[in-house]
Structure formats: C-alpha cells, structure tokens
Structure 1
Amino acid sequence: MKTIEYQYNARAISQGIVHIGVGNFHRAHEAFYTNTLLAHKDQSDWGICGVSLLAADKNTVENLKSQDFDYTVTVCGRDGQDEIYKIGALQEIIAGYENPKAVIDKIAESTIKIISLTITEGGYNLDKETGDFRLEDGKIMHDIENPESRATVFGFIAEGLRARKEKGNGGITILSCDNLQHNGDTAKKAFTTFIKAQDDELAVWVAQNVTFPNSMVDRITPATTAEDIKRLNKNSGIEDKAPVYCEDFIQWVIEDDFIAGRPAWERVGVEFVKDVAVFENMKLSLLNASHTLLSYPAFLAGYRKVDVAMHDNLFISLLKDFMNIDITPYVPAPEGVDIELYKKTLLERFANRAVSDQLSRLCYDGISKFPVYIMPNLGKMIKEDKDLSRMAFLIASYRHYLKYKTDSDGLQYDIAEPWLDTVDSDLIESDIPQDFLKLAPFKSFDLGSSEKFTASYMHFVNAIKQDGIITVLTTIVA
C-alpha cells in the first residue's frame, strides 16, 4: 500500500495556528487540510502548534514528540481502497499541564493568527437549560480570581490574549471546530463572558481585536485502539506510535471572518461562505442526530460497531424513516447540495466496514449532544403535531442505557457522561420515568408538558424493559 508523503520541507514551515485539543479528529481534519495546503510555497507560514491541557493526553503527546510530531492518516475508502498520508503540519505540541507559561507565550506571538479548538460539545461550559456560560463553576471561578494559575481553556486563552495585548501583537481569530450550532457564536459567548468577568480592559480589547467565525466540520474519525495501531502500522509499513484512521469523506465550511488573515484553505477544498447556518443545520440534524438515534438502541441490542449495526435492516430502516419523515422537512438544502444524495451518502458512510466506528464513541456525552442534535427539531415536531414515535423511542432508549447499564445480552457496561451533575444523576436513578424528562438537556424544552410525547415515551420505556430493544424496534419499523 502506497504512502503519500507530504510535499514540503517541514523544517522550513513556520507556525501561524495554535490548536487546542490535538485529538484524532483534529489530526484527520484541520491538520489534514493544512498538510495539503503547505505544499503551496506561499502558504508556508501556516504550520500548527498543538496545545494539550489535559494530563490524560500525555502518552499521545509523548508519542508524537518522539517522532518529531509526524504521523500517518489512513483514509478508508468506501470502495475498499485505502490511502495512507504522512502528515507534517503539526510542528510542535506544548503540554500546558507541564509548561503553562509556554502556552501563554505562544498565543502572544505576533506570527500566530488563529487559535482553533476541538474541546468537545461540553467543553464550552454552557448551562444545558439556559445556554448561558456557567460562571459559578468551581474551576471557572478559580481562573477568574487567579489568572496566574489558570486551569481551564478559558483561563489559558484569556491569559494569552492579555499577553498579546500587552505586547501590541495585534488581533487574532478563535476558530471553533466542534459540533455545535453556531459554534463561533457559542465560542464568542463563552470566552467573552469569562473575560468580561475577569478583566474589563481585556474584554474591550477582545471586542475590537478577536473574531469568532462559525464553521461546520465533518469527517468520521474513530478512536484508535492498541489493536488498531498494530493493524494500521502493518498496512503502512511505518512504525507510527500515534496513527489515525478516518473515512474518505471530508468537509469544512467556514464563515470568512478572520481579522488577522488565514490560510488559503479554499485551495484544498474548504468552503468559505457568508452564512454557515444552513450547512450546519443539515449536518447536525441529519448526520449527528442520526448517529445519536442509532447509538443507544444499537448498543443496547448488543452491537459495538457502527458498521455492523448498519448492516442490520432494522437500523437501516429506522434511520431512513428518521431522516426522510422526521428531519428533512426542517432541513433546507444549501445551494448546490442534493439533499437526497447527501442522505444516501450518510448511510454509506455509516456502513463503511473499513472505518468501523465505535458505538461507545457515539454514546459518549449524550447530555451535551441532545440539546444540539435532537431537541431543536423535536421541539418543532411537537409544535406541529408530528409523529413522535422515533424521537420518543430514542429518549426512552437513552434512559434505559443510562439507568440499567446492561444490554440485551446481559453484558454490563460503563457509561461516559463527563458533564452529568448530581441533579441529573438523581433523575436518571428515579423509578418514575417521567422524572427523566426533567434532565437538563430536556428541561428547557419542557418535554413533560407534551401529553402526546409523554404517552409515547412511557409506552417505549415500559416496552423496552418488558420486551427488549429489538422487539420494540421491530414494531416501530413495521
């Protein structure tokens, strides 16, 4: 299998981007695009300096450091043909948990024009009911009061911007690459609220010198296991301690609002538009919402891989009906996009056996995902008196997944909900199923006030417990 080497001298590249959260998705997406762009000689000042703020990522950071931050990306084709790329766009990684001052200094450098982020949907510290930034959070309060010993991404960036302002090194763009509606607006709300609470003078400077473009990102990128590493390295013939694999589909749509300049990413397929909203609505409502609908029932049914579940006709039918009946009426197609082809391609992507994504990854942090992917359209469906069966089935499945922690085969599992608070935990443990509808991501939509939804939800709660997930799913598809 041929490896595609990068077409530039990595030692001659200078850094123009700081990226916080150097996980698999960033390395298969933004860094992948940038790697291709750096082959253009006039783009050599857009190398990436990664920043890791979590000590849990130390092993990955050290592995990448040991190989001069080069790594491989295996792009898994739906036609069974894979391509391997060697990536050199990542020039450095600073471990903020070991050297916090280096992070501050890097953000303050005049050559850095963009701070990009993949900190997950929950990382923006927004209240699940109101959408407001949670200033009362303990770590946030610490960082507001102790800027010199910051612990959160907000504290680090605020301190970096303060140093940049003091040095007179000009404006900068903060670019969110997370799956959130209006992610730039969300990032702006989070960072400006924090900065305003900490430093009024800096807040004025940020308002004049920092932009927050919205963007839509897309590329299915599974977590990489130890077995994956062996498999990927065997196929590539390269001893890579931190390889990544992903699907062959990739998309990035960005609002063109970069105060200090930007890479010419449009040369390598990135779309720059005035309004990202129609693209992100399509992607979040169809791809991410369908992933969520698939994840909990399939996991409860005993499946552990997305592609395996997507070769079960029950789940194929469930997702087709969800996309066509429930969601398409609320998704205007962006100009030039064939929505029917987009949906067909989504099903092919989910079923890609070469990618074989983990259902556990899709189940992760549902508390943060439901308000973004599910609730906006569910609210419209309730208001317009639509068929609520698939949505009610999903939320009943989510409750069963969280409460009982045992699948249809009797296998127990751990849940991963990092933003679950004690109030939500009590609602999950309650033996009154309606209490679950008071969970933070549902409460602001007042799900329990819809008699039609509640009746359908209660039916599925009882049916799943009594008959099992597959039997219930069969009745829905039928």
Structure 2
Amino acid sequence: MTVNHLKRQINNDLNTSTNRQDLTCGIVHIGVGNFHRAHQQYYTNQLVIDPSQRAWGICGVALLPSDEPLVRALQGQEGRYSLTTCSASGKYELHHIESLKEIIWGIEDPQTVIDKIASPDTKIISLTITEGGYNMDSKDGDFKFDDPKIQSELKNRTKPQSVFGFIAAGLRQRMKAGTSGVTILSCDNLQHNGDTAKKAFSSFIQAQDSDLAVWLAENVTFPNSMVDRITPTTNAEDIIWLNKKNQIQDQAPVYCEDYVQWVIEDNFIAGRPEWEKVGVQFTDDVTAFEHMKLSLLNASHTMLSYPAFLAGYRKVDEAMENQYLYRYLSDFMNIDITPYVPAPDNTDLNQYKSTLLERFANRSVSDQVSRLCFDGISKFPVYILPNLEHMLNDGRDLKRAAFGIAAYRHYLKYKRDDNGESYDIAEPWLMQSDLAFIESEDPTQFLRFKPFHNTALHIHGSFVSLYQFYCGAIKKHGAMQVLKTIL
C-alpha cells in the first residue's frame, strides 16, 4: 500500500476532505515526539471530526537537529500518521491521525515558526519539551541563564535558537500587531507544569525584553495539566511490524497502551477546544491528580529502570515478570509512597496502583527499559526526591530508596550490567563538570551530583549508611542479588 493510499484511507476513515482545507491550526505544538502524537494528537484527532471544532487543528514545530528524520517523514505524509493502541489482552486498534495539519522544522524555517506563533488563528501554544527542557535549576528553582543559546538570544532577539527565543519572538510579533492573548500549555511530567512554564518563560522574557514581559503578564495564561499514556520509542523494527500488522506504509507510526488520561486546569485566555467531549477532564486544581501520577507512575518507572536494566532486562513487561522486581515496585508504591499521596476525588488509590502494575506488565506495549532510564538527571528531582525528603523527616524505611539511588550511580559509573554486557547511557543534561561526582570512588560524592544537590542526603546518616552498603554490594554481587536481600 502506498503513502497516497494511506492518505486516502485516513481521509475515508475520518470522512474529511482530502486537502483538509477547512481545518485551521488553532494550536501550535512544540516537541512533536511520540508521546505528543499518541496523547494530545489522539484526543484532538477525535475532536476535530466535529464540524464545530475544525478551528483546533495542530501545527507541529520541531526545534532540534535530531528532529529532522521525523520531520521529513511527516512532511512526506502531509502530517498524517498511524497510531496503534495495544491492550493488555492483546487487542490492537488502529487510528489514523489527521489533526496534525502542518509540521515545521525551526532550524530550516525559523521565521515560519515565529509567524505561526504570532498568527491570530493561534490560541494555544502547547509543549512537550521534556522535564529538563524548562531550563530550571533544581537547586534553587531559578531559570538558568548560562546556556550559550540563551546568552545568544538575550543579545540578539532576531535569531532564536531555543524554545524560549522562538516563543518570545512570536509573542513580540503578536504584541506589536495588537493580536489577542494566547495560552501556553505544558504537557510535560512536572509538578505544577504550568507554573514551571510560567516562571521559565517569564524569567527569560523579563531578561530579554521588559516591555514584552509586561504584555505577557496580562495576555498569556499557563494552565497546569496532568498527562498519562505509556508510549514506547518507535525503532526501525517497530515500523516494520506496525506496517505489516496494519497493512499500510507509514514512515512515522506510533504505538502505545490503550490507557489514556488528561486533566487540565481550565485557564485559557483565548478559548480552547471542547476536549471534554472526547474524555479530557477539566478542573480548577490538578494538584492531586499530578501528585498521584508523578509519585506513583513516574517515580515507579524511575525506581524500576536502573535495577531492571542492571539485571539484564531490556523490556519492562519482562522485568515485571521477575517476582523480586515486581514486589520491590509494589512495596515502593504501598509502603513508601502511599502515605504521601492523597487520592483525588472519585479515585480509588488501591485500584489505581493495581492498574499501574498491570500497565507496566502489558506485553503488547512491551516498553523499553532504556526509555525509562533516559534523563535521570531531570527525573530524580521531580519524581523521587520530594517524597524521599518526607520519608527522611518521618524516619521511614529507606532501604528501597537507598538501593534505587545506588543502582542509578552504578548504572552511570560502570556502564556494565550484571551479565557483563556494556551499554551507553543517555543523559542529555550531563556536563563534563558532573563526571567527578560519578567517577569518584567515594559513593557519597554522588549524593552531591546535580539531581541531588538541592537535598541534604549526604548528611542523613541512616540513609548514607544504607546507600554506601548498597553501592558496594551491587558492585560485588550484582543488582539482582542485592535486591533479593532487600525483600
């Protein structure tokens, strides 16, 4: 089946016109990765079938050099792609996604990106730029101005390089044209992600253009939101099997679990899609939802990732079949985290945790452990440390937390698993200056490493003793043998 056939099939399934001329881009989304294409696009794709919602198409923006292959693939298909949802029972469902009407690569065409942000049609600028993409210092919570791109943009407003420079340029163009306000909607896994986005963009813009900072304060809103859908990386082998299963030729397919959730604070200055028609939940306060999700799902993923990887597992579902890893994760959720997670209204916390374990074990999704290991520098301060500080203050059992951090150190330092297999680490925010904390033979130096330098872990004697013991034991016996002694 040709790409044109794929396009025709998509159009037939959605009963829309082939050229989608009646679909307007009311949303500019920055960071068109797999999660966005399985989550926000999934909801919006269902919604824009409604004739009253055709003003909410999405223009995707990519800003990184590494984005080029995906951009080219999507441009070749006019933004269309397939999404396959995979249930734990082995049921697969194909969705043809039509809501991504445009895709722009900022490195190639920066002015078009700025013009789309500035367009009167654009009412929402949404973001999936990863936890670390907001450029906030985990130690003091302030915006970091020392990045070379940021320094360049502060000196030259006309040549944006980062997400901050591009959005500032687009907002400045809106301000000068007298265009109405806009909402910046973070869809990243951060506690109070809208508040974080507001602080990051406000800090940058205040330093770059004080007049624009005044306009932003009056004309831009930053809702908080909670997003949830397990979405693996799609590699070359996945593209082959997805196309074979679905009998199509798609150069940019995505697959994910069938579970999906999106909770958003209803704070949109320029209007919004009626996403509630397709299952999105709007609320005045997302705090309880995001705290539950970050503390249980995201934290559990991080706690599982390094011990499982060191034990030789490369698929999450296979790791969950190991009775020791399964119990370790269950105990982490039930003993360590549950006392600090109030359930949102109408939520059964025990059922939520049980469902999480089932989702992790979903063989049809078969998520990659390496994906969970990615960017621990950004994950530990957000997912693990807030509750760990409560545990330290309350004198709770610290052995699972100490073991998890010892496993993270071992993963970064030795780059060899229990079976002797070597691997590459993926830490995009790891700097040369960080290596001394990792390479030191004194394990306590690691507790001063970037993810932990805003804590006092290194002075908590009970924690340090456990952590030092586990560092030595993992090196001597391997992660799995040490885990068995913990249980």
Shift of 1:136: 2.2
Partner of residue 49, structure 1: 59
Residue ranges of structure 1 left out of the alignment (5+ in a row):
none
Partner of residue 215, structure 2: 205
Q: In 1, distance between residues paired with 2:86 and 2:232?
A: 11
Q: In 2, distance between residues paired with 1:334 and 1:365?
A: 28
Shift of 1:192: 0.4
Q: Is 1:8 matched up with 2:20?
A: no
Counterpart amino acid of 1:144?
A: L
Cα offsets for 1:123-175 (capped at 9, x unmatched)? 01111211210012221111111111111110000000000111111100000
Q: Bigger CA drift: 421-430 or 254-263?
A: 421-430
Q: Helix, strand or coil for the counterpart of 1:249?
A: coil
Shift of 1:67: 1.2
Q: In 2, distance between residues paired with 1:375 and 1:300?
A: 22
Q: Is 1:425 matched up with 2:462?
A: no
Q: Is 1:159 matched up with 2:130?
A: no
Partner of residue 234, structure 1: 244
Q: In 1, distance between residues paired with 2:43 and 2:476?
A: 49
Partner of residue 372, structure 2: 362
Shift of 1:443: 1.6
Partner of residue 33, structure 2: 23
Counterpart amino acid of 1:316?
A: Y
Q: Is 1:73 matched up with 2:86?
A: no
Q: Is 1:330 matched up with 2:318?
A: no
Cα offsets for 1:198-251 (capped at 9, x unmatched)? 000000000000000000000000010110000000011110000000001000
Alignment of 1:308-387 (within 5 A): 308-387=318-397
The answer on whether the counterparts of 1:367 and 1:441 sit within 8 Å (CA) in structure 2 is yes
Residue ranges of structure 2 left out of the alignment (5+ in a row):
1-9
Shift of 1:184: 0.3
Shift of 1:422: 2.7
The answer on whether the counterparts of 1:3 and 1:83 sit within 8 Å (CA) in structure 2 is no
Partner of residue 61, structure 1: 71
The answer on whether the counterparts of 1:3 and 1:85 sit within 8 Å (CA) in structure 2 is no
Q: Helix, strand or coil for the counterpart of 2:226?
A: strand
Partner of residue 153, structure 2: 143
Give the counterpart of 1:114 among 97, 119, 124.
124
The answer on whether the counterparts of 1:48 and 1:89 sit within 8 Å (CA) in structure 2 is yes
Alignment of 1:87-126 (within 5 A): 87-126=97-136
Shift of 1:3: 12
The answer on whether the counterparts of 1:4 and 1:84 sit within 8 Å (CA) in structure 2 is no
Partner of residue 455, structure 2: 445
Cα offsets for 1:97-130 (capped at 9, x unmatched)? 0010001111111010000000000101111211
Q: In 2, distance between residues paired with 1:193 and 1:12?
A: 38
Q: Bigger CA drift: 16-25 or 63-72?
A: 63-72
Over 4 Å off, 4+ runs? none
Partner of residue 285, structure 1: 295
Q: In 2, distance between residues paired with 1:37 and 1:336?
A: 25
Q: Bigger CA drift: 141-150 or 81-90?
A: 141-150
Q: Helix, strand or coil for the counterpart of 1:148?
A: coil
Give the counterpart of 1:306 among 311, 316, 330.
316
Counterpart amino acid of 2:190?
A: L
Q: In 1, distance between residues paired with 2:369 and 2:107?
A: 30
Give the counterpart of 1:274 among 281, 284, 301.
284
Counterpart amino acid of 2:209?
A: D
Counterpart amino acid of 1:235?
A: K
Shift of 1:4: 9.5
Q: Is 1:458 matched up with 2:475?
A: no
The answer on whether the counterparts of 1:75 and 1:82 sit within 8 Å (CA) in structure 2 is yes
The TM-score, its normalising length taken from structure 1, stands at: 0.98
Cα offsets for 1:433-461 (capped at 9, x unmatched)? 11000012212111001001001101101
The answer on whether the counterparts of 1:233 and 1:239 sit within 8 Å (CA) in structure 2 is yes
Between the two proteins, what is the percent identity of the paired residues? 60
Shift of 1:56: 1.1
Q: In 1, distance between residues paired with 2:236 and 2:431?
A: 32
Count of residues paired in the alignment: 476
The answer on whether the counterparts of 1:196 and 1:202 sit within 8 Å (CA) in structure 2 is yes
Give the counterpart of 2:94 among 80, 84, 101.
84
Q: In 1, distance between residues paired with 2:233 and 2:423?
A: 18
Q: In 2, distance between residues paired with 1:464 and 1:119?
A: 34
Q: Bigger CA drift: 242-251 or 423-432?
A: 423-432
Counterpart amino acid of 1:404?
A: Y
Q: Helix, strand or coil for the counterpart of 1:289?
A: helix
Q: In 2, distance between residues paired with 1:182 and 1:6?
A: 35
Q: CA RMSD in A?
A: 1.2
Counterpart amino acid of 1:21?
A: G
The answer on whether the counterparts of 1:4 and 1:86 sit within 8 Å (CA) in structure 2 is no
Q: Helix, strand or coil for the counterpart of 1:85?
A: strand
Q: In 2, distance between residues paired with 1:69 and 1:91?
A: 6
